[in-house]
């Protein structure tokens, strides 16, 4: 399986200037091609990759766009391929209509294929460059790996990264594990497992909130425009955000890797995070917890290692149901962290929810999606008529 290995590097002034020119040309070609395809779309015509490639050749011959010849042609062609993929997703209704790239807001990146770089003796040299990149090899590549694609990028904090796509023989199905675990996401604890384990929420953003506020105040005092001082202040804000994001990503990687290695089946809730962050009282905490990123990591690592991730219905009342007898309570306010069921079982709210999530997930896996455990009325009798499910508070 192919896997991307990302490293930081420190370019020389000449390399930084060359890459900055390449980023600008990639953005320009992408926007020109998108404009041409949009115009054709308005006239009920379709333009494919081959036609935009011919347009690129014509653009290079014009006096206005002759500067496109100064950079490697491969990243420009790759930009057209990326646009083609974006339109493919749009026509398949998997994504919205492609948008133009902004000079200030869009990600700065350029993709090189094998014809535009040389990887030899641990050194990577890109087209139009005389010297190899000064890469910090924080971890080794797979033995005998030969990159098929190299992507160079620069983040908002000004850091440079190179990503090498290689075949990784170490990625493959792990030995079967008989364990299954339910995962309840939260804010007091990042996740609570059906085994009773609670993983603390590091709250990375809160730890750097004072530093971030100071950097943002400094930025707000700078004059509007594109001056050097404002750019420096904006970069300092981006550096704090990058520090927070790096720590959060590192913690999530360690957690998800452990869960995938130890369990054959992982059951989670299908949370609508986009809707949940509309609650302005909890939006910052929910964003800092990064539940969507947690789920995404679990899913792709499960595909790598032959595990299964099951997402249950977000409306399932996991906190209000007794995991021992199935009694369903009418209400369960958020301030209630421990409660005792009529059957005499005392529950920790989050552990009980994780157990219910696991139960309904395993049931759905065996019997089909949407299957839920038998619900009972507070009196202990099976419910004959179910009320419409209400979302948990």
- Catalytic residue list: 184, 269, 350
Nearest residue to 190 (alpha-carbon basis) of 94, 344, 115, 297: 297
Q: Is 136 exposed, middle or buried (0-12, 13-18, 19+ CB in 10 A)?
A: exposed
Which strands make up the sheet holding 265-269, listed edge to edge?
198-200, 189-193, 180-185, 265-269, 308-312
Query: Residue 248 and residue 160: Cα distance in Å, rounded?
Result: 20
Query: Residue 236 and residue 151: Cα distance in Å, rounded?
Result: 25
Angle at CA of residue 343, ends 338 and 346, nearest 5°:
20
3-state SS, residue 208: coil
DSSP 8-state secondary structure symbol assigned to residue 107: -
Neighbours of 42 (CB within 10 A): 8
Query: Residue 112 and residue 110: Cα distance in Å, rounded?
Result: 7
Contact 290, 253 (CB under 8 A): no
Nearest residue to 180 (alpha-carbon basis) of 298, 305, 258, 265: 265
Residue with tokens 């009320």: 387
Query: Residue 106 and residue 300: Cα distance in Å, rounded?
Result: 25
CA dihedral 5, 10, 11, 13 (to 10 degrees): 160
């Amino acid at each position: 399986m192919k896997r991307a290995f990302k490293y930081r590097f420190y370019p020389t002034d000449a390399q930084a200037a060359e890459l900055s020119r390449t980023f600008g040309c990639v953005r320009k070609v992408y926007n020109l091609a998108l404009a041409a395809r949009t115009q054709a779309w308005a006239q009920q015509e379709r333009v494919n990759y081959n036609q935009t490639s011919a347009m690129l050749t014509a653009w290079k011959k014009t006096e206005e766009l002759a500067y496109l010849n100064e950079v490697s042609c491969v990243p420009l062609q790759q930009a057209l391929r990326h646009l083609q993929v974006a339109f493919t997703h749009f026509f398949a209704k998997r994504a919205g209509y492609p948008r133009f790239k902004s000079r200030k807001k869009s990600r700065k990146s350029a993709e090189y294929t094998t014809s535009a770089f040389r990887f030899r003796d641990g050194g990577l040299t890109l087209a139009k460059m005389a010297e190899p990149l000064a890469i910090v090899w924080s971890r080794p590549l797979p033995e005998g790996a030969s990159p098929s694609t190299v992507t160079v990028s620069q983040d908002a904090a000004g850091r440079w990264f190179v990503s090498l796509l290689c075949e990784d023989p170490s990625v493959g199905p792990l030995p079967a594990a008989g364990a299954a675990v339910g995962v309840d996401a939260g804010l007091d604890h990042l996740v609570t497992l059906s085994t009773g384990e609670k993983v603390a929420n590091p709250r990375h953003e809160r730890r750097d909130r004072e530093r971030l506020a100071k950097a943002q105040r400094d930025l707000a005092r700078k004059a509007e425009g594109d001056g050097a001082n404002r750019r420096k202040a904006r970069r300092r804000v981006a550096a704090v955000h990058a520090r927070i994001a790096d720590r959060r990503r590192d913690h999530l990687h360690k957690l998800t890797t452990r869960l995938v290695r130890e369990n054959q089946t992982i059951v989670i809730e299908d949370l609508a995070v986009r809707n949940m962050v509309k609650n302005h009282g909890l939006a910052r905490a929910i964003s800092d917890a990064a539940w969507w990123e947690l789920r995404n990591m679990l899913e792709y690592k499960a595909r790598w290692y032959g595990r299964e991730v099951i997402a249950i219905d977000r409306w399932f009342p996991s906190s209000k149901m007794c995991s021992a007898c199935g009694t369903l309570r009418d209400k369960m306010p958020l301030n209630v962290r421990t409660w005792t069921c009529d059957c005499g079982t005392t529950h920790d709210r989050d552990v009980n929810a994780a157990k219910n999530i696991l139960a309904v997930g395993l049931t759905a896996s065996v019997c089909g999606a949407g299957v839920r455990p038998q619900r009972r009325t507070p009196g202990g009798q099976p419910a004959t008529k179910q009320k419409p499910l209400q979302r948990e508070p």
